[in-house]
Amino acid sequence: MTPISPVVPVYDGPGLSSLMPTLLGVGDESWLPEPCRRARSVVLLVIDGLGWEAIRSRPEQLPTLSSFAGGSISTVAPSTTAAALTSITTGVAPAHHGLIGYRIRVDGSVLNALSWRFPDRAPPDPSSVQRVAPFRGQSVPVVTKYEFARSGFTQAHLRGGPFWGWHTVSTLIGECRRLSDLGSPLIYSYYPGVDEVAHQYGLESSFYESELSFVDHMVKELLSVLSSDTALVLTADHGQVNIEPESWLGLSAVEDLVDECSGDGRFRYLHSRRGRAQDLLATAQDAYGAQAWVRSKEALLDEGWLGPTPTPAVIRRIGDVVLAASDSVAFIDPKLPGEARLRSAHGSLTAAEMEVPLLAHRGLRA
């Protein structure tokens, strides 16, 4: 028996998918940190992979962030970049926007949502896979890495607003200052470094500690150039779990029942062979139930993990069985064995993955 319960996302109140509508003035803002209320301009900084656990447990690396007002909120499920960033920008749950994992089964093939590639054919039009207008159709300036400008994933979750690409962190800071000083009421900015370092080196490495210290310095510098009537609001798409090499588990117990895998290492969708869904569920529960929350597609939807009222397209994309890791393990997709080189992972519903910061501080420039 799994000794802990999953942290089910909040979709109808203070949670990551409600943040953008609230910042745009739709709905009750009483749950937002006080510094972002009545601000002339808001800079939303999304730091990929910086979960609440890192902020709570490592104040020595994060003294600036530790001084911010606010606390933790829940991200979405799966707790992974494609799903969560799209929920931030669209303001809806994965059940509605449809980017339900790192790799998604779309029209009979598995789409890598971040590289926006199929293995066997041309990729789809991003707006046909994710149909919800980002930023509720408003023109919100986006400050993110320059090389993301033409990617399919960028078109899926950031289309419609002016794009300002940064090459270095100093230009991220400079663009946010410039746009705020020009009067933009809301600016969306994104930094991926914490997630990248965690995946390569793990959460217990000196490299990860150094990256946290670097991020804190970056935030301090950003605060110093923002005016006092501008609020810096900081959040993340997900937290992380450290994964040792031997904790990447194969799926040999169910391989004869699985047609294909999708999703993430810690939120693995298993698409059954025709007519074998019930056999797959029973076998997966026996083989992996001590290390994961094993759910059928129907149970996943009934429990609302992906959000309310899933679209027909989303229902088709979900595997017949889902393995959501509860222990510090991840499940290897046989078609993506290189994923097992990652030293941290996310996607599941543990507190370390699901709890993300929602913090705010006014700019320090007079």
Q: Is the pLDDT assigned to residue 253 strictly greater than 50?
A: yes
Q: Kindly state whether residue 1 falls inside one of the protein's structural domains.
A: no
162 shares a domain with 126: yes
Contact 222, 47 (CB under 8 A): no
Q: Kindly state whether residue 58 falls inside one of the protein's structural domains.
A: yes
Q: Which residue has the tokens 């993110």?
A: 144
The 10s digit of each residue's pLDDT in 73-113 is 999 999 999 999 999 999 999 999 999 999 999 999 999 99
pLDDT of residue 4: 86
Nearest partner of 236 among 54, 9, 1, judged by Cα:
54
270 shares a domain with 212: no
pLDDT cut 70: percent of the chain above it = 99
Nearest partner of 79 among 160, 158, 128, 7, judged by Cα:
7
58 shares a domain with 164: yes
Q: Which residues contact 210 (CB under 8 A, 6 or more apart)?
A: none
Task: Work out the pLDDT band at 27, boundaries 50, 70, 90.
Answer: confident
The predicted model scores a pTM of 0.97
326 shares a domain with 356: no
295 shares a domain with 228: no
271 shares a domain with 123: no
Q: What CATH number did the domain enclosing 37 receive? A: 3.40.720.10
**What kind and span of H or E run contains 78?**
none
165 shares a domain with 60: yes
The 10s digit of each residue's pLDDT in 117-150 is 999 999 999 999 999 999 999 999 999 999 999 9
269 shares a domain with 174: no
The boundaries of the domain holding residue 133 are 16-242+349-362
Residue 289 has φ and ψ, to the nearest 5°, of -65, -20
Quick check: helix, strand or coil at residue 282? helix
Tell me the pLDDT of the chain averaged across its residues: 97
Q: Kindly state whether residue 3 falls inside one of the protein's structural domains.
A: no
DSSP states of 184-216: -SEEEEEE-HHHHHHHHH-TTSHHHHHHHHHHH
258 shares a domain with 114: no
326 shares a domain with 197: no
257 shares a domain with 211: no
Q: Kindly state whether residue 151 falls inside one of the protein's structural domains.
A: yes
Q: What CATH number did the domain enclosing 310 receive? A: 3.30.1360.180
Nearest partner of 158 among 138, 181, 175, judged by Cα:
138
Q: Kindly state whether residue 42 falls inside one of the protein's structural domains.
A: yes
Q: Is the pLDDT assigned to residue 339 strictly greater than 60?
A: yes
Contact 158, 144 (CB under 8 A): yes
Give CA separation, 278 vs 251, 297, 312, 314, 326, in Å.
17, 11, 21, 20, 22
Quick check: helix, strand or coil at residue 289? coil
Q: Kindly state whether residue 4 falls inside one of the protein's structural domains.
A: no
pLDDT of residue 2: 44
Q: Mean pLDDT, to the nearest integer, of 289-310? A: 97
Q: Kindly state whether residue 288 falls inside one of the protein's structural domains.
A: yes
Q: In sequence order, which ranges of 291-332 are alpha helices (DSSP H)?
A: 297-302, 312-317
Q: Kindly state whether residue 188 falls inside one of the protein's structural domains.
A: yes
214 shares a domain with 358: yes
Domain count, the chain: 2
Nearest partner of 115 among 107, 131, 128, 104, judged by Cα:
104
